[in-house]
Each structure stands twice: as structure tokens, then as C-alpha cells.
Structure 1
Amino acid sequence: MQAPKYQSLKDHVYEYIAQKIQDGTLLPNQKVNEAEICKKLDISRTPTREALFQLSSDNLLDYLPRRGFTVKAFDPKKKLDFSRIIGVLDALAATLCIEQLSDSDMKAMEGIVDKIDLDISHQHFLDYYMDQYNFHDIYIKKCDNPVLIETLNSLKNSFIRQSYASEDKQKLADVLKEVNAEHRKILELFRSKDKEALECTLKHHWRIIDTEML
């Protein structure tokens, strides 16, 4: 398996392992076989180790010296705590950039929301994860606050992926339909420049999936 063009080897390994965690191939507390990953991806040990340590930093893996890496057990309370913080910071980013979004930004967000409907209908939850990330990323990048942007990215990497790992695929799909309905509402609030309602909606938005799935 070759890394996609323009993606670093470390990022390629990171996405490969993160996907295996998300789709349930790698289970909580399961040891990650470094040698097997190197062989499967035809990648040397150095970028593989870099990716594993990054996954550990992002709370997807646990690292024990001389014992290696294991998949981090899901922590519902911590996940909910993270989502509450993300909601507040995401709302701040949205209110900071509400006057900066262009018509092309709005159209891009609308296109992503339509794509998300397809992701959900086909239960392509990995695609959903990336599309919803891109939806929020459009306006977050416009907030003109690098510290806020960096903090949000770090927090999202820590626990968000685990939200889309569920054995009950139909229930998850139903919950994500509700989440995407809020994406449409968020888009309309950007268009109407209603800061107060936008802030309130985004604070609630990040807690829907945790409240329903935890």
C-alpha cells in the first residue's frame, strides 16, 4: 500500500492506524504490531514510530516503555468533557469570523453538508468524519486567531474520532442525521449573521453525538 501523493509517510501511517481503531479492527487495549504495519504499508520503522507516538499524544494509543503501544480504552466522561470545551471554543471561532465568510465559503460548506447526507446514507463513517471536520475547518481558519485554531485542532484529534466507532451502525447513522441537520442550521445562522444563536447552537452541537452514543 503506497502513501497518497503529498501525504507524509508519518501521516499515512497515522491515518491507517486511526482508521483501524475507528472501524473496530483494532480494539481497546489491543497491542499494535509495529512490524506488521511496516510490512503492510511497506514503510520503514522510523515514520511508523513517529505516527505511533503522535497517536499516543492524540489520546488514541497508550505507550508503555519496553511494552509498546496499545489502543486506548474509550473514556466516555473524558470524551464528554472534551466535547464541551470544543463546543465553547468552536463557538468563539465562529463568532470571530462571522463577518469574514465569503459567498464561496458558504457554498463550499453547503456542498459538504450535502456530501455528508450521502456519507450517512451509505454508512461511510470515515468519510463523514473527514467531511464534518472540513465543514467546521472552513470557518475556523477565518477566525484570525492562530492559538485558537491550534487548540481546536489538538482537542479534536484527542477524542473526536472515537465518537464514530460504534457497533450499532443504524443508531449512529440516525444520530449523525441529527448532527448534520445542525450543520444546515449553523450555515443559515452564518448567512443571517446571528451571533447569539450561532454561539448557542455550536455549544450544543458538539454534545449531540456524545449524549446519544455514550
Structure 2
Amino acid sequence: MEAPKYRSLKDHVYDYIAQKIQDGTLLPNQKINEAEICKKLDISRTPTREALFQLASDNLLQYIPRRGFIVTPFDAGKKLEFSQAIGALEALAATLAAEHLKPSELLEMEALVARMDEDITQLDLAAYSKNQYQFHNLYIQRCGNATVIEMLNTLKNSFIRQSYVSDNKARLSSVLNEVNEEHRQILSAFRAKDKPQLEALLKHHWRIIDNDML
């Protein structure tokens, strides 16, 4: 069995801030309060600063001299580039994971699809985002390629955090239903271990997210 990856204090701070950006707690152009983070996590300033500079290197934050770190605004013009990159990497992860997913993991993915149906009906975007992340993360973590996993984490932290911003609730529900239908097709392809189908589905899947309503 593979030993769990060691997580440094810097990693914990990185994950904490990235999650706050992802779930909308930290908004674009918002200043990061370093002292508050140190107090909240009971961590010294050094690993906190290391995490902040790493987040800036990964384009989640910007460093402004004499002002500090702010959350990077998402460049809508790069949506297509991000979705293409995520789609290609997820297609690779899926084909690598196809032979390794356990029946229990496939059942968990099925349950997540059902939960997302409920999330869409209630337009609970926070729950939908969490369940969608878990659905994709199940097979990503089984792909056996640490570089692909790391690249996907960085890209998604920058891209998905500002995806669901439509005021047109009916249109938003329609798009999310289309996305979840593809989740069902992805699951079917995993069960059939159909790697060409998985590759085609995942490359298209993230193009749906590249939508003016999202």
C-alpha cells in the first residue's frame, strides 16, 4: 500500500486558502489577512508566507508591494484555454484509472450523480460543486500519476471557483443537468472500461463548462 503523502504546514495553509477561494469565501481582489490566517490555523508567519507566495506562483493570488496579497480576478477570456487543458488532463487521468476503479468506487460515483440531481433541483450550487468535485476526484486519485493530479488541482483552483455566476436560474439548471447527464455517461464508460469513450467524453465534458452562463 502506498504511504500517505506528507503534508507540510505550508501545504495546509495553501489548501486552506485555496478552498476559501474555491467556495467564494475569498472574493476576487480581496486582500488576504495574513495575521488572521496565522491565528485561525495556529501557524507561524513563515509557512503562511511560503504558502501565499506559492499561491501567487500558481496564479490564485497576486502580490502587490506595500499592499500584500489579493485574490486574482479570473480572466474570463481564458475560459476556453482552461477548459481545454482540464479536459485533456482529465481524459488522461480517466484512461489511466479505468482498470483500477473498484466496484465500491463505481457505486459511490453513482450515488454522487444522484445527489447532484437533487442539488440541481434545489439549485444548491455549493453542494453541487462539492459532489462534482468528489465524482471527478475518485478516478483522478486512482490514475497513478502524481504530476497529472497536481496539475489538475492547480488548474481547477483557478478555473472552477468562478464558474457558477449566472442570474438566469432556468438556464443554469439546464446546463447543470446537461453536465450531470455526461457524468452518467462517464460512469457507464468506466463500467465498460471503454477508454476511447472516456477520452472523448472528458475532453467534451469541460467544454460544456466553457459557457457564457457559467
Under a length normalisation based on structure 1, what TM-score does the superposition of the two structures give?
0.78
**One-letter amino acid of the counterpart of residue 17, structure 1:** K
SS of 1:101's equivalent in the other structure is coil
Query: Equivalent residue of 2:142, what SS?
Result: coil
Identical-pair percentage:
56
Tell me which residue corresponds to 2:154: 154
Distance 1:12 1:148, change over 3 A: closer
SS in structure 1 of the partner of residue 163 of structure 2: helix
Change (3 A) 1:145 1:154: same
Q: Which runs of 5+ in 2 are unaligned?
A: 1-8
What is aligned with 1:198? 198
Quick check: 28-37 or 81-90, which moved more?
Answer: 28-37
2:181 is aligned with what amino acid? A
What TM-score does the superposition give when structure 2 sets the normalisation length? 0.78
Residue 76 of structure 1 pairs with residue 76 of structure 2: yes
Q: Distance in 2 between matches of 1:145 and 1:52?
A: 26
Distance 1:54 1:144, change over 3 A: same
Worse-superposed segment, 149-158 or 110-119: 149-158
The corresponding residue for 2:101 is 101
In structure 2, the partner of 1:135 is 135
Q: In structure 1, give the amino acid aligned to 2:13.
A: K
Counterpart CA distance in 1 for 2:202 and 2:15 is: 31
Structure 1 residue matching 2:210: 3-state secondary structure: helix
3-state SS, counterpart of residue 70 of structure 1: strand
Query: Aligned equivalents of 1:92 and 1:42: distance in 2?
Result: 36
Q: Which residue of 1 aligns with 2:167?
A: 168
1:153-183: CA deviation from partner (whole Å, max 9, x where unpaired): 222223222213x152613333222111110
Tell me how far apart the structure 1 counterparts of residues 193 and 212 of structure 2 sit (CA, whole Å).
29
Q: CA deviation at 1:91?
A: 0.7
Match of 1:10 in 2: 13
Does the residue aligned with 1:63 lie in a helix, a strand or coil?
Answer: strand
Q: Deviations over 1:18-44 (max 9, x none)?
A: 15xx54x654334344456667x4856
Listed as ranges, the gaps of 5+ residues in structure 1 are: 1-7
Question: CA 1:66–1:130 in 2, change beyond 3 Å: closer, same or farther?
Answer: same
**Counterpart amino acid of residue 125 in structure 1:** L
> 2:118 is paired with a residue of what secondary structure?
helix
Map residues 10-89 of structure 1 onto 2, 5 A cutoff: 10=13, 13-14=16-17, 17-18=20-21, 22-23=23-24, 26-34=26-34, 41=40, 46=45, 49=49, 52-89=52-89
Tell me: CA distance 1:153–1:74, structure 2 relative to 1, closer, same or farther (3 Å). Answer: closer
Partner in structure 2 of residue 126 of structure 1 = 126
Quote the Cα distance in structure 2 between the aligned partners of 1:154 and 1:74: 14
User: What letter corresponds to residue 152 of structure 1 in structure 2?
Assistant: L
| 1:112 counterpart SS class | helix
Distance 1:168 1:180 in 2: 20
Instruction: Please identify, of 76-85 and 199-208, the stretch whose mean Cα deviation from structure 2 is larger.
Output: 76-85
Match of 2:3 in 1: none
- Give the superposed CA RMSD: 2.9
Could you report, residue by residue, the CA deviation over 1:103-151 in whole angstroms, capped at 9, with x for unpaired residues? 1111011111112222222332222222212111111222222222222
Q: Is the 8 A contact 1:63 1:70 kept in 2?
A: yes
1:11, CA displacement in angstroms? Answer: 5.7
